[in-house]
Structure 1
Amino acid sequence: MKKTLLILGFFCCVVTSSKAQVVGTEIGDIAPEIDLPDTKGNLVALSSLRGGLVLVDFWASWCGPCIKEQPALLKLYTTYPDKLSIYSVSMDTKKPLWLAAIAKGKLPWTQVSDLKYWKSPVVGDYMLQSVPLNFLVDKNGIILAKNIHGNALNEMVKSLLTAQ
């Protein structure tokens, strides 16, 4: 009887203390859906990459820090080709500049943009105020980290992927 009461008490504590998952941009939230056209005009949903670790990366061809970060992202992407996806959302308004930056950087991962700059619905969904901005999302779409760059990003990805 004591064992049953103990289990029942534990279960009640778990149920009453659990926090419901919400869609949002805080760590622990479900990342808002993004469904934008890629470089060829095909819609690519962020949720289509679920099942693995995803870095949602907001950038623009005119953003110096964004361009400077791309070689490190390329190295990270090639280090974990089957375990890490990158979903880059460009804030460019001119497709030729966007495509030229992708080609120059030799960026092989998913690239999307609606070419609306700050008028895109994604800006509000992700509370975007400036670029670069990123979100590291787990296989279930849960935000693990945000605005993480450089060595901190490398170490977090390494620890998450080597723990699997």
Structure 2
Amino acid sequence: MKKTLLIVAFLCCIITNSKAQVVGVDVGDIAPEIDLPNTKGEKIALSSLRGSLVLVDFWASWCGPCIKEQPLLLKLNNTYPEKLSIYGVSMDTKKPLWTAAIAKGKLPWINVSDLKYWQSPAVADYRLQSVPLNFLIDKNGIILAKNIHGKALEDKIKSVLAP
């Protein structure tokens, strides 16, 4: 009887301690899919960038901290052009404001939006409460870091891409 109880207890420990890969927004989770149109109306799926390091950047043209961070994102984009993809998700509701901000900032990376602001499925999937918010995702779609900015973001990308 004791042997059976020990075996059952051991199996319970194994089952509760094993962490299955789940879709979610915590570090270690598989990043939820985003499939939104770019400025030309063409849908671009986040999963289409698998195979490279991806920074998903939630931003808006009216967000001062978002705009302030764009020079760093440009620097990272230019430093790691073959190793890092940036997938910008705009929370703008007016296409002219969104496209003007992209042009003004000279943002060369993928920018998508459904122009639905907080009603976008991506908002719910990523539990977005404010911008800026970002997620660093590895080549397999696993979240490595979230909501890191400035030097911390730069250092994290450099460490992930170090040989």
Q: What TM-score does the superposition give when structure 2 sets the normalisation length?
A: 0.90
Change in Cα spacing, 1:36 to 1:15, as seen in structure 2 (3 Å) is: same
Residues of 2 paired with 1:114 and 1:59: CA distance? 13
Which residue does 1:21 correspond to in 2? 21
Q: Deviations over 1:27-59 (max 9, x none)?
A: 000000000000100000000000010000000
Structure 2 SS opposite 1:130 = coil
What pairs with 1:1-164 in structure 2 (closer than 5 Å)? 17-163=17-163
% identical aligned pairs:
79
Residues of 1 paired with 2:162 and 2:26: CA distance? 24
RMSD, aligned CA: 1.4
Shift of the alpha carbon at 1:18?
A: 3.3
Which residue does 1:5 correspond to in 2? none
Structure 1's unaligned 5+ residue stretches are: 1-12
Structure 2's unaligned 5+ residue stretches are: 1-12
Change in Cα spacing, 1:124 to 1:16, as seen in structure 2 (3 Å) is: closer
Change in Cα spacing, 1:19 to 1:68, as seen in structure 2 (3 Å) is: same
Runs of 4+ in 1 over 3 A off after TM superposition: 13-18
Residues of 2 paired with 1:44 and 1:123: CA distance? 17
Shift of the alpha carbon at 1:17?
A: 4.3
Which residue does 2:8 correspond to in 1? none
Residues of 2 paired with 1:14 and 1:132: CA distance? 39
Residues of 2 paired with 1:69 and 1:31: CA distance? 22
The one-letter code matched in structure 1 to 2:74 is: L
Residues of 2 paired with 1:34 and 1:119: CA distance? 14
Residues of 2 paired with 1:15 and 1:131: CA distance? 37
Q: What TM-score does the superposition give when structure 1 sets the normalisation length?
A: 0.89
Shift of the alpha carbon at 1:89?
A: 0.1
Between the two proteins, the alignment pairs up a number of residues equal to 151
Shift of the alpha carbon at 1:71?
A: 0.5
Residues of 2 paired with 1:122 and 1:112: CA distance? 11
Q: Deviations over 1:40-82 (max 9, x none)?
A: 0000000000001000000000000000000010001100000
The one-letter code matched in structure 1 to 2:149 is: H
